[in-house]
């Protein structure tokens, strides 16, 4: 057991990088990385994380949702908890840092805090969430939703690709679905929630900054849009008689990008299905997706209003019908000023006194935890903004800085903490 309080942040960063590689070796894919919820890989990554947590001086357990937890008591046992967490599950053919880096930074932060834990006015818990990506059952943030007490009973019926239900998968893993509420934390038992995560975007790298503060996590609105025209013989139908649904959809895709750019909103059409989809038939119906996200809900919603108006206007002109179905809507979640300040103090410790603040375009466990406590997020630079891909990469020197920042941030939270 190497419980060495004098390990430098450089040495700790090297250890974290080596452990990211070790975790990458736990995979359901022969080539590439895949770790999904309630699988053998989940069991193995929990066992490793538990071992590392114990080595860092934490008391460990697996909660009722399969999340791996480790606790460091403060001045006295049983105090409310500052949670530092991220996830160990992955998308198929994943990189080795998304989520993982946040968990390992948490464990090393705890190791550095451990010798001084008697000075902490709260407990610190490191949590490795078991499902954030939703790879196996479709629904995302399962681990953190269980901890936030917002588990959806409808999920028990959800099935994986092999037809196994969530409830069955719980039993098979050795968990009892009836006990899921034991994983939930009460707001009064929490001091706050911190998460370090790779940026998954190119902004920090472009700015030449290793670390960034997160202002908010964008909540997406998603739509299924259908444009109805009339399917007719391509040869026999002159232009003036056509009601071509694909022309409408093509214009819509261009409008979505233009309005998104103008308003600083991320607007994406990722799916498009043309019917009947024959080479010699004027398209009669096109269904396409729209994903909208922004720093604030107001910004996102006003962009939707403009997109809606543009599409409606064009469809009317072309004698097309527009059918709108909103299939998902999540509110944007803000990081609390208190925890942002603490993280800013942490980043200042690394020599950056005027840190970049950016909002997260991707979802994170912190979104779920915001239902029960204040959240704060720290982004670390990643190479070329690549994520959810085997080429995901981070610099070891950035990892060392992130560790310094997190440790300092915990003490900043402690300095402001009132029991
Ligand atoms: Zn992630």
Same domain, 199 and 275: no
Whole-Å CA distances, 282 to 23, 123, 252, 254, 265: 52, 65, 18, 20, 33
What distance in angstroms lies between residue 197's CA and the mean position of ligand 1's atoms? 7
Q: Report how many domains make up the chain.
A: 2
Q: Judge whether 47 lies within some domain.
A: yes
Domain boundary among 277, 303, 329: 329
Same domain, 213 and 229: no
Query: Any idea what the CATH number is for the domain that residue 239 is in?
Result: 3.30.70.360
Specify the residue for token string 């994380």: 49
pLDDT value at position 419? 63
Same domain, 136 and 243: no
Same domain, 39 and 94: yes
Query: Any idea what the CATH number is for the domain that residue 188 is in?
Result: 3.40.630.10
State the binding site: 87, 98, 133, 197, 222, 280, 293, 388
What distance in angstroms lies between residue 102's CA and the mean position of ligand 1's atoms? 9
Under DSSP, is residue 412 helix (H, G, I), strand (E, B) or coil?
helix
Q: Provide the pLDDT confidence category of residue 6 given band limits of 50, 70 and 90.
A: low
H helices of 208-323, in order, are 245-263, 297-317
Same domain, 325 and 342: no
Taking alpha carbons only, the member of 3, 222, 207, 206 closest to residue 108 is: 3
Q: Judge whether 4 lies within some domain.
A: no
What distance in angstroms lies between residue 245's CA and the mean position of ligand 1's atoms? 38
Same domain, 305 and 174: no
Same domain, 65 and 131: yes
- Measured in whole angstroms, the distance separating CA 315 from the mean position of its chain's CA atoms is 36
What distance in angstroms lies between residue 332's CA and the mean position of ligand 1's atoms? 17
Q: Judge whether 407 lies within some domain.
A: yes
Query: pLDDT by residue (tens digit) across 80-114?
Result: 999 999 999 999 999 999 999 999 999 999 999 99
Q: Judge whether 152 lies within some domain.
A: yes
Q: Judge whether 178 lies within some domain.
A: yes
pLDDT value at position 418? 73
What distance in angstroms lies between residue 96's CA and the mean position of ligand 1's atoms? 10
What distance in angstroms lies between residue 121's CA and the mean position of ligand 1's atoms? 29
What distance in angstroms lies between residue 51's CA and the mean position of ligand 1's atoms? 22
What distance in angstroms lies between residue 419's CA and the mean position of ligand 1's atoms? 32
- 231 has a pLDDT exceeding 80: yes
State the binding site for Zn(2+): 87, 98, 133, 197, 388
What distance in angstroms lies between residue 352's CA and the mean position of ligand 1's atoms? 25
Same domain, 254 and 363: no
Q: Judge whether 403 lies within some domain.
A: yes
| Arithmetic mean of pLDDT over the chain | 96
Q: Quick one: tokens of 323?
A: 């059918």
What distance in angstroms lies between residue 344's CA and the mean position of ligand 1's atoms? 21
What distance in angstroms lies between residue 87's CA and the mean position of ligand 1's atoms? 6
What distance in angstroms lies between residue 78's CA and the mean position of ligand 1's atoms? 30
Choice among 2-11, 213-222, 264-273 with the minimum mean pLDDT:
2-11
Same domain, 88 and 197: yes
Q: Judge whether 202 lies within some domain.
A: yes
pLDDT value at position 2? 47
Same domain, 63 and 197: yes
What distance in angstroms lies between residue 364's CA and the mean position of ligand 1's atoms? 6
Domain boundary among 291, 308, 329: 329
- pTM summary value: 0.89
Same domain, 279 and 198: no
Query: pLDDT by residue (tens digit) across 290-304?
Result: 999 999 999 999 999
Domain boundary among 295, 310, 329: 329
pLDDT value at position 5? 52
What distance in angstroms lies between residue 391's CA and the mean position of ligand 1's atoms? 15
Handedness of CA 133, 138, 140, 144 (dihedral sign): negative
- Measured in whole angstroms, the distance separating CA 233 from the mean position of its chain's CA atoms is 47
pLDDT value at position 361? 92
pLDDT value at position 132? 97
Q: Judge whether 2 lies within some domain.
A: no
pLDDT value at position 411? 98
State the binding site for allantoate: 222, 280, 293
Same domain, 211 and 344: yes
- Residue 24's domain spans which residues? 9-218+332-418
Taking alpha carbons only, the member of 39, 41, 29 closest to residue 100 is: 41
pLDDT value at position 4? 52
Average pLDDT value for residue range 297-325: 97
- 365 has a pLDDT exceeding 60: yes
Average pLDDT value for residue range 2-14: 79
pLDDT value at position 1? 44
């Amino acid at each position: 057991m190497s419980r060495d309080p004098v390990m430098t942040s450089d040495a700790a960063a090297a250890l974290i990088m080596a452990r990211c590689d070790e975790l990458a070796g736990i995979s359901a894919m022969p080539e590439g990385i895949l770790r999904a919820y309630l699988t053998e890989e989940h069991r193995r990554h929990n066992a490793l994380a538990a071992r590392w947590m114990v080595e860092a001086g934490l008391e460990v357990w697996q909660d009722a949702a399969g999340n791996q937890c480790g606790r460091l008591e403060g001045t006295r046992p049983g105090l409310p908890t500052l949670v530092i967490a991220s996830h160990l599950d992955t998308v198929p053919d994943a990189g080795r840092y998304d989520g993982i880096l946040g968990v390992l930074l948490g464990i090393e932060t705890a190791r550095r805090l451990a010798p001084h834990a008697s000075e902490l006015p709260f407990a610190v818990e490191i949590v490795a969430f078991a499902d954030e990506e939703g790879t196996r059952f479709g629904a995302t943030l399962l681990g953190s939703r269980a901890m936030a007490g917002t588990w959806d009973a409808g999920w028990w019926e959800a099935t994986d690709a092999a037809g196994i239900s969530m409830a069955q998968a719980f039993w098979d893993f050795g968990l009892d679905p009836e006990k899921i509420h034991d994983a939930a934390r009460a707001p009064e038992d929490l001091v706050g929630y911190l998460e370090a995560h790779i940026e998954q975007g190119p902004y920090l790298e472009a700015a030449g900054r290793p670390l960034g503060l997160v202002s908010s996590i964008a909540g997406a609105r998603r739509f299924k849009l259908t444009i109805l025209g009339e399917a007719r013989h391509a040869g026999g139908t002159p232009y003036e008689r056509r009601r071509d649904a694909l022309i409408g959809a093509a214009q819509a895709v261009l409008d979505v990008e233009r309005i998104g750019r103008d308003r600083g909103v991320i607007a994406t059409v990722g799916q498009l299905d043309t019917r009947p989809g024959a080479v010699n038939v004027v398209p009669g119906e096109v269904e396409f997706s729209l994903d909208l996200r922004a720093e604030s809900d107001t910004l996102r919603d006003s962009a939707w209003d403009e997109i809606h108006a543009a599409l409606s206007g064009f469809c009317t002109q072309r004698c097309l019908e527009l059918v709108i179905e909103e299939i998902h809507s999540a509110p944007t979640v803000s990081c609390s000023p208190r925890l942002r300040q603490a993280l800013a103090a942490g980043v200042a410790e690394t020599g950056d006194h005027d840190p970049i603040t950016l909002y997260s375009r991707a979802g994170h466990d912190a979104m779920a935890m915001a239902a029960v406590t204040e959240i704060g997020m720290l982004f670390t630079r990643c190479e070329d903004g690549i994520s959810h891909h085997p080429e995901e990469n981070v610099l070891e020197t950035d990892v060392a800085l992130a560790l310094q920042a997190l440790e300092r941030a915990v003490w900043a939270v402690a300095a402001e903490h009132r029991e």
